[in-house]
Amino acid sequence: MSAAVILAAVLGGGVLLIARRIFSRRKALRSLSYPASLMRGKTVIVTGANSGIGKATAAELLKLQARVIMACRDRRRAEEAAQDIKNQAGANQGELVIKNLDLASLQSVRSFCEEVIREEPRIDVLINNAGLYQCPYSRTEEGYEMQLGVNLLGHYLLTNLLLDLLKQSAPSRIVVVSSKLYKYGSINFEDLNSEQNYNKAFCYSQSKLANLLFTRELARRLDGTGVTVNALTPGIVRTRLGRHVNIPLLIKPLFLLVSWLFFKSPLEGAQTPLYLACSPEVEGVSGKCFANCEEEQLLSKATDDHTAKRLWDLSESMVGLRR
């Protein structure tokens, strides 16, 4: 086979891949079409709203005229993101508010909730989006393994402290961002805090499985209150979430190309949280998990009621809510 034929095949394959990527992107963007004033008068909290899926979700909600509270740890980065979001939102946009929230500090979570309860008359949607992915071993302010502390415990306390306000604002919604990597995790009750051994990949998967179990147990507890809670798995998205993953220098150009071709953009990744936050199609739906705006069937370990209840009770004790 001549070099010209090989080159043509490679270029042709590249064109097909790019065309497929562009087509899928346009299809995803069309699914994000909602009435421009759909969220007018509604207040939405988005954790981790200064980058990635959280930023894209906040931007779309602002376009739908919501009052969006960006709950972020880094004030400077949040302000930069807020300015970018406002510039893109157009003339008829909602309101954007920045509040400090460090999910690695339960005291910060409590202070944030006290401020929200004091200043906000209602909360219509809480989107638990922020997360850490395979970070080096470290601990939260209270001494919990960082991925467990941020991905589960911080959001557990945040949600519980805002539940009364969410109930008063009913019908209201809670959205929990999980990951398909939950499939590779289990809840290690014998060493939940990874004091005996730390495997960063396992700990991430464990925390994402915990998010699904949290959603299931919370849905059971909220039955009849007018507050719904659903989880989602966004797929592989080009965000800063993977910043702790070391990629060899020689491989980076290829990785960047592959990510552009096959990974979702932040806007595409935001379509399912946006769908769960505001679509009339999921009004009253609770305790489910979604992917690409459709209900996703979970493995049995993510729907185990006994494990969900046990993890809930343990989390309650770890964050100091159990009397």
- Is 204 marked active-site? yes
Cis preceding linkage at 253, omega within 30:
no
DSSP three-state, residue 39? coil
Query: What stretches of the chain adopt beta strand conformation (E)?
Result: 43-47, 67-72, 95-100, 125-128, 172-177, 227-232, 289-291, 294-295
Encoded amino acid at 319, one letter: V
Q: Are 237 and 265 in contact (CB under 8 A)?
A: yes
Residue 317, both tokens: 């004790």
Of 275, 263, 258, 259, nearest to 237 by C-alpha is 263
- Longest Cα separation, the chain: 76
Rounded Cα–Cα distance for residues 270 and 67 (Å): 17
Residue 289, both tokens: 């998990």
Residue 49, both tokens: 């709203």
Render 70-100 in DSSP notation, one character per residue: EEES-HHHHHHHHHHHHHHH-SS--EEEEEE
Catalytic residue selected from 133, 144, 204, 275? 204
Rounded Cα–Cα distance for residues 201 and 181 (Å): 9
Encoded amino acid at 303, one letter: T
Of 175, 178, 174, nearest to 212 by C-alpha is 178
Rounded Cα–Cα distance for residues 173 and 242 (Å): 28
The pairing of strands 289-291 and 294-295 is antiparallel
Active site residues: 204
